[in-house]
A and B are shown apart, each in its own frame.
Chain A
Amino acid sequence: MTRTNFGAVLVALLGGIAFAAPAAAQNEQFIPHLVYRTGAYAPNGIPFANGVADYYRLVNERDGGINGVKIVYEECDTGYATDRGVECYERLKGKGPTGAAYFIPLSTGITFALTEKAPVDKIPIISMGYGRSESRDGSVFQWNFPLLGTYWTAADILIQHIAKIEGGMDKLKGKKIALVYHDSPYGKEPIALLTKRAQLNGFETMFLPVTHPGVEQKATWLQIRQNKPDYVLLWGWGVMNSTAIKEAVAVGYPREKMYGVWWSGAEPDVRPAEDGAKGYNAVMLQHGAGQFKLHEDLKKFVYDKNNGTAKWDETGEILYVRGAINGMLGIEAIRTAQKRFGNKPMTGEQVRWGIENLDLSADRLKQLGFEGVLKPIKVSCADHEGARTGRIQTWDGKNWKVSSDWYTADEAVVAPMVKETAAKYAADKKIAPGCLTN
């Protein structure tokens, strides 16, 4: 390439900035999605992103959109990095005729950062099963929706399950429970609840941080071998999960005594450890693995037309299903908003109202093809979580098997903590708590 050619190419590239976004059609709902298909957490990020994408595609193909409004969908790769996530958010928030409907960050760090921006831009954040636990309080966190469960819910369910195994809450006294956690806001979230529970039920806690990305855990598991905790809770993500299980095998810690959060209980977490993972447990974000009613439609409208994002065999994986659930909740929120504001593209503000008034009965879930996957969910201003139940699943070496009954997080323990922490946040940020009505 000669010098002039190089210059010409450069000018052409820079010129590209000038003619940016093509004009969008008016009857379209723009939904952005922050994904990570690259980086250390990609094995877990990819199936989730596929599930979300396929669900939107299904709604477009089967129903012709949401009440006739086509979904336009765009991904932006964050690599799980907070600053890139914020850049993606800024890039996508204004697209489409009405701007972004909502954001799914799939990262507690990005959720924290966007929490500051959402009220200004008036775009809701759906952090299904992650994010700040106190963001359940919709009077302070008006734009955050940690649907289906927060980390405090997860930790409380795990403690209840351990108590049940031991034979009652009073039997927890004197037990030692360790938490091996990803050293980030995500991993630290359950500490507050476990500390509170430890005071109430008299067990000992041990908090063992693992630095990002979590491939180096030798020292952590050495400590576990020395201290012999009765149970180990695992709050990991990506490669950290499989590494933890492998290290547990190496130090001979029984996998039956290990309980993961719902982000540490999917196929990519246990498969690399092979037989070693047998007996490992995790709390479920309600749903388990496997194909169900929804998949008939997915097959018919998406995969048979070769439009699927994933491979067909992967659509029964836990994280894929979770992505589809997340997509469904978002779409149903838009539908709820449309009932009030009319069948047209919704703005972020209208979608926020839709999520806050989301009410999915068992019948409606059945109609949507989610029977047996989700329990009814009802969101309100006081409760942005909508549901607080979960079960435990166990890896049998090949598949995840449900191994417990339903548990519900104990409101007597969790609710006062939410109230206190949310009030502190409101005071720090000088927010006047209150419910939004539109």
Chain B
Amino acid sequence: MFYREAGQFKTTYGSDEAIFPIVQDRWFVIAAIAFAVLVVPLFAGQYLYTEVLIPVLILSLAAIGLNILTGYCGQLSLGTGGFMAVGAYAAYNLALRVPEVNLILVFLFGGLMSMLVGILFGVPSLRIKGFYLAVATLASQFFLEWAFARIKWFTNYAPSGSVAVGPIELFGIPINSPERKYLFVFILVAVLALTAKNLVRSRVGRMWMAMRDMDIAAEIIGIRPLHAKLSAFAVSSFYVGVAGALWGFFRLGSWEPLAFDVNRSFQILFMVIIGGLSSILGSFLGAAFIVLVPIFLNQLPGWLGVGLSTATISHLEFMIFGAMIVFFLIVEPRGLARLWAIAKEKLRLWPFPY
């Protein structure tokens, strides 16, 4: 009843090709964006910005990147952390060495560098698949981590190997308050997410999905694996690279290669799996789940006034979080995005059961 698309006729090519062909979806997205840009700044405090919204948005972007590669094109990757590092260090070096460059270009440069590295490490995917590819991308993770820890030029010869970004500004406006950082990150993520949403239903996206579902069949109907796989690696690494640069500039401010270690790769892979493979919305849900649930569990005893020791709280956090992951995977192996899809089905039929 709430979600019925009956009667929505597509009378132009434009309406047929819209990113969100269903009116309710379109309004939902517009409302969500308007809420995030106009309403959130009215009430959000610093903690909400820097520890909840900004990390979730940035990691969602990384999860979208990995989802393009793993969810849509079926190429399992464990190198996400490394590609994020490429984005972060490329952006850092550009901002450091050519300070007059516009901030948006800095992030795009981070994405582009990551894209080049991604294509390079994507080449083996033409010959190897599945778990073997996962191991090959794992090698890229270790190589990139090693490179940023050892090649001094990347870190501007800092004695400790840790880099720090200077003041950030866009068109002369300093981006120094959490609110400005949030708005910048939000707009960039929103634009990139909508682009991704559009991309995955285009010819390229369908090419990826064909490659994922059965590569030989895809080849027979005329899809070139070289194009399909490498373009997936390129787009995916671009997104991941931009996310890495944002993570460095807006989340950390100062970082070391350890911030992008293999645990980061796993964290983002878990976001994609829990959120839902081949779903842009799932990337957001997965990132929110993985980032926020541990923080929530950690603070819960304090809110409830239960006096537990710091160590007990931490251990409980790990146990409950682990149990929740198992629970969600049993209840809905296709991820949180699938739960949302089921909810939509129900809304469509409500109040009738069938």
Q: Most A CB atoms within 10 A — which of B304, B305, B311, B318? A: B311
A82-B259, A91-B299 are contacts. A189–B160 as well, Cβ < 8 Å?
yes
Q: Contact between B149 and A209 (Cβ–Cβ < 8 Å)?
A: yes
Provide the B300-328 mask, 1 if CB < 8 A to any CB of A, else 0: 10011100011101110010000000000
A185-B161, A191-B159 are contacts. A113–B258 as well, Cβ < 8 Å?
no
A-side binding surface: helix, strand, loop or mixed? helix
User: Which of A71-79, A168-176, A264-272 contacts the other chain?
Assistant: A71-79
Q: Contact between B166 and A429 (Cβ–Cβ < 8 Å)?
A: yes
6 A-B pairs besides A109-B256, A112-B256, A212-B258 with CB distance below 8 A are A16-B300, A20-B303, A83-B251, A90-B51, A112-B164, A185-B162
Residue from B46, B255, B258, B310 in contact with A76 in the complex, judged by beta carbons closer than 8 Å: B310
Q: Contact between A421 and B315 (Cβ–Cβ < 8 Å)?
A: no
Closest 8 CB pairs of A and B: A37-B311, A185-B160, A116-B253, A192-B159, A38-B314, A77-B314, A75-B310, A185-B162
Per the bound structure, the CA–CA distance linking A118 and B253 in Å amounts to: 12
Per the bound structure, the CA–CA distance linking A90 and B52 in Å amounts to: 11
Please name 14 pairs of A and B residues whose Cβ atoms are closer than 8 Å in the assembled complex, sorted by A. A37-B314, A77-B313, A82-B259, A86-B252, A87-B51, A112-B162, A116-B254, A117-B253, A120-B176, A189-B159, A209-B149, A425-B164, A428-B166, A429-B166
Provide the A176-205 mask, 1 if CB < 8 A to any CB of B, else 0: 000000011110110110000000000000
Residues of A within 8 A of B147 (CB): none
Per the bound structure, the CA–CA distance linking A16 and B302 in Å amounts to: 10
A153 within 8 A of B: no
Per the bound structure, the CA–CA distance linking A421 and B251 in Å amounts to: 25
User: Shortest beta-carbon distance, B260 to chain A, in Å?
Assistant: 11
Interface of A toward B, CB cutoff 8 Å? 13, 16-17, 19-20, 22, 35, 37-38, 42, 46, 49, 75-77, 79, 82-83, 86-87, 90-91, 94, 108-109, 112-113, 115-117, 120, 132-133, 183-186, 188-189, 191-192, 209, 212, 421, 425, 428-430
B167 within 8 A of A: yes
Q: Contact between B46 and A83 (Cβ–Cβ < 8 Å)?
A: no
Per the bound structure, the CA–CA distance linking A46 and B310 in Å amounts to: 11
Q: Contact between A83 and B259 (Cβ–Cβ < 8 Å)?
A: yes
User: Shortest beta-carbon distance, A370 to chain B, in Å?
Assistant: 26
Q: Most B CB atoms within 10 A — which of A20, A87, A192, A209? A: A87
B96 within 8 A of A: yes
Residue from A38, A90, A192 in contact with B315 in the complex, judged by beta carbons closer than 8 Å: A38
Q: Contact between B258 and A184 (Cβ–Cβ < 8 Å)?
A: yes
Provide the B144-162 mask, 1 if CB < 8 A to any CB of A, else 0: 0000010000001001111
Per the bound structure, the CA–CA distance linking A413 and B167 in Å amounts to: 32
Per the bound structure, the CA–CA distance linking A200 and B124 in Å amounts to: 48
User: Shortest beta-carbon distance, B251 to chain A, in Å?
Assistant: 7
Per the bound structure, the CA–CA distance linking A109 and B163 in Å amounts to: 11
Residues of B within 8 A of A42 (CB): 311
User: Shortest beta-carbon distance, A250 to chain B, in Å?
Assistant: 25
Residues of B within 8 A of A430 (CB): 166-167
Q: Contact between B47 and A16 (Cβ–Cβ < 8 Å)?
A: no
Residues of A within 8 A of B329 (CB): none
B105 within 8 A of A: no
User: Shortest beta-carbon distance, B13 to chain A, in Å?
Assistant: 44
Per the bound structure, the CA–CA distance linking A354 and B213 in Å amounts to: 66
Per the bound structure, the CA–CA distance linking A90 and B298 in Å amounts to: 14
A35-B310, A77-B314 are contacts. A90–B47 as well, Cβ < 8 Å?
yes
